Amino acid sequence: MTTALDLTDKRIVVTGGAGFLGRQVIAQLRQAGADVQKITVPRSHDCDLRQMEHCKRIVDQQDVVIHLAAHVGGIGLNREKPAELFYDNLMMGTQLIHAAYEAGIEKFTCVGTICAYPKFTPVPFKEDDLWNGYPEETNAPYGIAKKALLVQLEAYRQQYGFDGIYLLPVNLYGPEDNFDPRSSHVIPALIRKVYEAQLRGEKQLPVWGDGSPTREFLYSEDAARGIVMATQHYSSHEPVNLGTGYEISIRTLIELLCELMDFEGEIVWEADKPNGQPRRCLDTERAKEAFGFTATVEFRQGLEKTIAWYRQHAA
C-alpha cells in the first residue's frame, strides 16, 4: 500500500459523473471524505472531451481526475458504430490525460474496459494476459481505443512521473443503468425484454446467441467503491481488474432473471445472432492485494435491486 491520498480538500473532476456508474462514484467519494462542493462533473452538452480546449478547461486548478466518460454500448452498438466508438473513446481519453499532465494533476484514475482483453484469454483473466492476442472482433475498436490509454499512462509515468492508474471493471449492472435496447448491455437489455414480454402477455422470449457464453457482473456500487479505493491507495503502472470472480452463463442468467421476474414463457435462442466473447471471468487477486478491494453485493441480491428499480421507473 502506498500512502493514502487524502481526498478531504481535493478538487476532483469526475467525467461521466452524471451517469450510471458516475453517480455511485460521487456517493463513494463523499463517503471517503471528499467535499461534494469541490467535485466537478462536466456534462457532454457543454464539454466535448474530443476537443482539447475543453479538456484543458475542466482540469484547470484541479487535483484529481477520475475518467469514467465513454461512448459505449452492447454488441448491437459495437457492430453498428465501430468507427465512432474507436475515435470518440481514444480522443476523449488521450487528450484528457495529456491536459491533466500539463495541468499538474496529482492523481488520474482511468477506467478502462474488459473488452480490451484478447478474445481467447485463459479464464480467469489475469492482467498480465492483456496483450496476448486481439480482442473479440465486435469489441475490438472500443477495446483497443481504451487499451491505448493504458500505454499512454505507462509512458507518462515513465517519462514525466505522472501518477495515472488504469482499472478494468468487468460488466457492470445496477439501478439507474441504461435500459435503451439499442445501446444497453446484457442485464438491462434482458430485464427490459422480460418486462415488456410480460406486459404484452407473450409466451416466448427471443434472446440473441445460443446461451453458451459466460460473463461476470459487478454491481455498480461495488465498482464505485473499488474505483475510489484505488484512487486513494494505488499507484502503479500495472492495470488492475475489478470484479467478483463469479462466472455465469448467459443461459443461466436469463433463467435466473425469468425466475426473479416470474416470467413463465419459453426462451427462444436466436443462434444466428452473435454470442460475443466466449468466456469472461476475472482474476481479482491484484485488487485485493494492492488496495484491499473485494466485491460485497451477492449477484442474486444485486439483480433483485436492479429489477425493482426498473419496474419502478419503466414508465
Condensed to tens digits (0 to 9), the pLDDT of residues 223-268 reads 999 999 999 999 999 999 999 999 999 999 999 999 999 999 999 9
pLDDT tens for residues 15-48?
A: 999 999 999 999 999 999 999 999 999 998 999 9
Asked if 47 and 54 count as a contact pair (C-beta separation under 8 A), the reply is yes
Q: Identify the active-site residue in 101, 117, 142, 195.
A: 142
pLDDT confidence tier of residue 53, bands split at 50, 70 and 90 = very high
Nearest to 242 by CA among 228, 263, 261, 257: 228
pLDDT confidence of 78, banded at 50, 70, 90? confident
| Contact by Cβ (8 Å): 149, 94 | yes
Contact 152, 92 (CB under 8 A): no
- Is 280 known as a binding-site position? no
How confident is residue 2, by pLDDT bands cut at 50, 70 and 90?
low
pLDDT greater than 60 at residue 1: no
Better pLDDT: 74 or 241: 241
Q: Is 131 annotated as a binding-site member?
A: no
Residue 41 assigned ligand-binding role: no
pLDDT at 185: 83
Q: What's the mean pLDDT when you consider all of the chain?
A: 94
What's the pLDDT tens digit per position in 85-97? 999 999 999 999 9
What are the beta bridge partners of residue 107? 64
Asked if 259 and 205 count as a contact pair (C-beta separation under 8 A), the reply is: no
The single-letter code of the amino acid at 157 is R
Instruction: Report CA Rg, the chain.
Output: 19
- Does residue 315 carry a pLDDT above 80? no
Residue 79 has pLDDT above 60, yes or no: yes
Q: Is 302 annotated as a binding residue?
A: no
| β-strand partners of 204 | 266
| Section 159-175 average pLDDT | 97
**What does DSSP assign to residue 4?**
P
**310 catalytic per annotation:** no
Least confident window among 68-72, 220-224, 307-311: 68-72
169 known member of a binding site: yes
The C-alpha atoms of residue 103 and residue 20 are separated, in whole angstroms, by: 28
Q: Which residues contact 111 (CB under 8 A, 6 or more apart)?
A: 21, 66, 67, 68, 70, 167, 169, 227
**pLDDT of amino acid 181:** 81
pTM: 0.93
Distance of CA 104 to the CA centre of its chain: 26
Question: What is residue 138's predicted lDDT score, i.e. its pLDDT?
Answer: 87
User: Is domain 12-174+217-244+278-296 classified as CATH 3.10.20.30?
Assistant: no
The 3-state DSSP class for residue 107 equals strand
